[in-house]
Structure 1
Amino acid sequence: MTKPAASKPEPDPSPQVQAWRAAQKARTAGTTDASPTTATRADAAETTYVPEGQGDVPWHRILDTRLNDALVARVNLSATPRS
């Protein structure tokens, strides 16, 4: 019978990841102001960490091909190296 791989703890996250997670927890808990102050905006600007998989932006060139009703192939043409 196939056994699952043993789990291992996550390594300590970087300071950027810790700051991003803390900001997300505060945002979802509703502990932040609805209109951020200038200091809050400055603090947010210093957080440059973007989680993997985020960032669908309009300047990326993405080619979508529907293979069947449930499967779509997406190719990010802006990430491919150009010769």
Structure 2
Amino acid sequence: MNRIVLGAVGALTLVAVGLFWWQGRAEVEKGAPPPSPEKLAADPKVLPSADISGMRGPAPPEASELTKEQQRFFRYDRNRDQRISR
């Protein structure tokens, strides 16, 4: 019976300490000052523009010369010795 009462008191103590710690951390954020307002652009509806006429993207990937069977084989041939040892 003593152990049950002691366990219940210990559990309630841990819960109380946890709530106290949780509320104490919330108070730190509560008193933070608001951020300073940033200056807005002259017209916020105008979108920036860029000239992209001379730009080129990366080259597309080249297909390998391997057949489907060779691709499946090389997936399992880790050290490229033409043998699959599992």
- Relative to the length of structure 2, the TM-score reads 0.21
User: When you count helix as a share of all residues, which structure comes out higher?
Assistant: 2
Considering only CA atoms, is the larger Rg found in Structure 1 or Structure 2? 2
Larger RCO (CA within 8 A; separation ≥ 6): 1
